[in-house]
Amino acid sequence: MDVYTASHWGVYQVDLKNPDQPHINPAPFDPDPSPIGLHQLDQKVTEQRVRRPSIRKSWLEQGPGTAPELRGKEPFVEVDWQTALDLVAKELDRVRSTYGNSSIYGGSYGWSSAGRFHHAQSQIHRFLNMIGGYVSHKNSYSLGAAKVIMPHIVGSMDELITMHTTWDVLAEHTELFVSFGGVPAKNSQISPGGTGKHAVRQGLYAMKKAGVRFVNVGPVDDNLDVGGDREWIQCRPNTDTALMIALAWELLSQNLCNLTFLETHCTGFEKFTAYLTGKTDGIEKNSSWAEAISGVPQNTIKELAQAMASSRTMLNIAWSLQRSHHGEQPYWMLVTLAAMLGQIGLPGGGFGVGYGAINSIGSDLHKLSGPTVRQGTNPVRDFIPVARIADMLSNPGQSFSFDGKQYTYPDIHLIYWAGGNPYHHHQDFNRLNKAWEKPDTVIVNEQFWTATAKRSDIVLPATTGLERNDIGYASQEGVMVAMSKVASPVGDAWNDYDTFSGLAERLGVGEAFTEGRTDMEWLRFLYDDCKDRWQQSNVSLPSFDDFWKSGILHLEKKRESVVMFENFRRDPTSNPVPTPSGKIEIFSEKIDSFAYEDCPGHACWLEPIEWLGAGSAQEYPLHLLSDQPARKLHSQLDSSPHSQSGKINGHEPISMNPEDAKKRGIHQGDTVEVFNQRGRCIASAVLTDKVMPGVVRISTGAWYDPDPETGLERHGNPNVLTLDLGTSSLSQGCSAHTCLVDVRGPVKDAIATQAFVLPEIQGSGSKTNAI
């Protein structure tokens, strides 16, 4: 018998002919399935599972706050579930009673489940809200800068993502597709909540077959596969904004701007023009100016500007560009450049903010809100921008800026994390290590012995999506999946719902949390609620019982071909964009009123704190890119054979241009050390001319593995090197891609990674002096 399951990287069919050894296969309807999810049941993955509730030894014996510097360095003691839940409930009650709920940080950032009910973030936030609330986070590491800047300019990222011009329109009408940062197919293996049919490769190939000209702008050239030729313009990292400004200067100086569109659909162009021509600062932002910054030749800039103006042009930008110091600027400048071309709202023209970032961008399916667990209202108003966790832990009481207002970091005494891994997402792990010692207690619900689990005080084992019943659904992916349980929980793992139900009962909110429902009763309730809502959109669903028997529903409710901002272009008065002016804000009065030196009222070139044109490049002459991995989602399934086969000698690869390798005596496959003032890590050299000179790349996701004596990271995790600094005072986003390093090698002594060595586990410890 075959059943289906859903994960963030796709829908899969599970063969249960041998119930003791279920086998995962690609879904037959997926034209381009991801191989990542095929390895979820591999023995190498199972070996990393947390099997029983585990308490850090000194915390168990001496209580909260004991020896936090030993997190990750001392044994755990396994206890039974009742003991563990009693300890967690007592500690939550102690902290909220002594310090208030604003001393609890409900982390939960990550991709723990494609299932809509057993979604760790929803479960933990619902629970914490019911016991008085928690300090929350805003936005994401992926889009920290864009989610704040874009509503000021043209509209929210959430809305923009769902309204992109569809692939069929691009193939029919686009003549020139210029992408800053490529369209990385590896990223489009996933979507939040799971993918249905992987569509990005097909979309790009169809465009190429139709004769679209592709231009890839950036420091690497293996992030755009169109099934044929494409052009590569090498541009220094973090300098795309300067290049776009020079393209704008060429449009203006050659009278290639659409002045009518700028007047009727935009506001503030005259103030940007004053900056562009140098009236405000005495610097004309021409092609010569941009060449000195970006390395792109003047003639290339001139020719590209002319081609964009004479073609139906789609400008695209990767999400990676806003994960840098001043990351707001390339997004603002892309919209400004597209507005000057005047093709926004025309079929095949305008701009895109992340084609290829996730599978659903460019989808022709309707956006339908799926089954959702209501989290309730959080009584605590304190929050942080998500990438500022180390700042918060290190500097309680300190003021920080965010989107025009001042806030204060709360004093955190307890972290409760479920669904996520800060020792993957965050930057500058050596700085995070010090901050991580501040709270009295760190609690995680976790499936695997990740670096975060190893650095916690209480670890509660959680089930995977294959070990529980759930409903898989993602908007604009076209499928709803009955995720039947296909494997028994490993060890004594519980699902998060049962864990929080047990805690809620102990803290007096059990009935409110469960509403008297089992997990299957919740699935039926959520499905029926969704069925009623969809009926209003003329989408009919079968009964829950029929859905569960079928295993999968194909929701082929398609939209007409979509052109982003088509209605706005036709009538901007009747169809304004959601900005203060109702127009595209090339100059923002509101942002200008914030008086931020690092984010003024229009797009501009602001020199990053680290880049190849800075003085620090003399000491660290290579710019490190830390992109998303191809063989895993973030750090998930890093121990799988699929992920391991991408490593060299057990280390994550570092891509280098042969010129840079030759200068350092490095050859293909050599073990090397990558370093800067923040940290050091070991990687294995891959020489390729697809990376421009002066640039190196280590994909993220290798499980963090520092040597306890020297601090040398042995696995190839770039976040021991990356910069933990907010993008600007406006958004405080992640600046991971602003990072200079150097590389030395080859390292002669074999350095074996210990990332997958389990922590020491001692015998049962039901008797405790804790709390």
Catalytic residues: 109, 111
The neighbouring-strand residues paired with 135 are 105
Confirm if 700 and 627 have CB atoms less than 8 A apart: yes
Helix or strand run (H / E) with residue 742: strand 740-744
Distance CA 242, CA 760 (A): 52
Rounded to 10 deg, the angle between the 496-506 and 519-535 helix axes is 110
Separation CA 495–CA 503 (nearest Å): 13
Q: Beta strands 761-762 and 76-78: pairing type?
A: parallel
- Give me the sheet containing 104-106, strands edge to edge: 104-106, 414-418, 441-446, 458-461, 54-56, 76-78, 761-762
| Nearest CA among 210, 174, 155 for reference residue 584 | 155
Residues 6 or more apart whose CB falls under 8 angstroms from that of 21 comprise: none
First to last CA, the chain: 50
Neighbours of 510 (CB within 10 A): 16
For strands 740-744 and 671-675, give the pairing: antiparallel
Beta bridge partners of 213: 176
d(CA 522, CA 516): 9
Nearest to 129 by CA among 432, 416, 482, 459: 416
Structure tokens given for 190: 């996933």
DSSP one-letter string for 153-207? HT--HHHHHHTPPPHHHHHHH-SEEEEET---TTGGG--TT--SS--HHHHHHHH
Looking at residue 580, the DSSP 8-state letter turns out to be T
How many Å apart are CA 568 and CA 583, to the nearest integer? 9
Measure CA 714 to chain center.
24
Three-state SS letters, 322-378: HCCCCCHHHHHHHHHHHHHHCCCCCCCCEEECCECCECCCCCCECCCCCCCCCCCCC
Residue 231's DSSP bridge partners are 215
